[in-house]
Amino acid sequence: MSNTLSASARKVQEALAARGMVLKVVELPASTHSAPEAAQAVGCQVGQIVKSLVFRGKQSRKAVLILASGANRVNEQAIAARLGEPIEKADADFVRAATGFAIGGVPPLALEREIETFIDETLFRYDELWAAAGTPHAVFRLSPADLVRISGGRTIAIT
């Protein structure tokens, strides 16, 4: 384990290792806060970036994590229909409380608590994906199958 990783990125690296994954977290000098920034930083298509978007159920107030292709927008009505309640985009404080990470660095694992997770089916068009790893500068490369394994999410149409 590299001691050069920031604490949040190291937490993600350790969670990957604990699941038996040999995926490597890297911290980059360029920001990976947005999907276009991340794609530019790692040299891939925007669609290969896994956006971690946290929503909140309007009645239940429970967190919902959507792992979306960087090229897609989430159809909130479709997600609401699956959940049985309307959803709203979560604010920064809610995201940090639910996940343990700040917006722009939320990984698909190592979350503060278990969160219902949905994976954008269009991510399976790619052999290689890049996901956030705890900070707006940390990412790791993985396959769509790896994403399902580490997140426990269900694959659905989100657009």
Let me know if residue 1 belongs to a domain.
no
Let me know if residue 64 belongs to a domain.
yes
- Domain span at residue 41? 7-156
CB 10 within 8 A of CB 1: yes
Let me know if residue 131 belongs to a domain.
yes
Q: What is the pLDDT of residue 1?
A: 40
Rounded to two decimals, the pTM is 0.95
Rounded CA-CA distance 135/22 in Å is 20
Please tell me the total count of domains within the chain: 1
pLDDT tens for the chain, 159 residues long, are: 445 899 999 999 999 999 999 999 999 998 888 899 999 999 999 999 999 999 999 999 999 999 999 999 999 999 999 999 999 999 999 999 999 999 999 999 999 999 999 999 999 999 999 999 999 999 999 999 999 999 999 999 998
Could you tell me the CATH number of the domain that includes residue 24? 3.90.960.10
Let me know if residue 55 belongs to a domain.
yes
Question: How is 114-154 classified by DSSP, letter by letter?
Answer: --EEEEEGGGGG-S-EEEE-SSTTEEEEE-HHHHHHHH-PE
Nearest to 91 by CA among 118, 55, 61: 55
User: What are phi and psi for residue 40, nearest 5 degrees?
Assistant: -65, -40
Let me know if residue 144 belongs to a domain.
yes
Let me know if residue 104 belongs to a domain.
yes
Let me know if residue 2 belongs to a domain.
no
Q: What is the pLDDT of residue 2?
A: 44
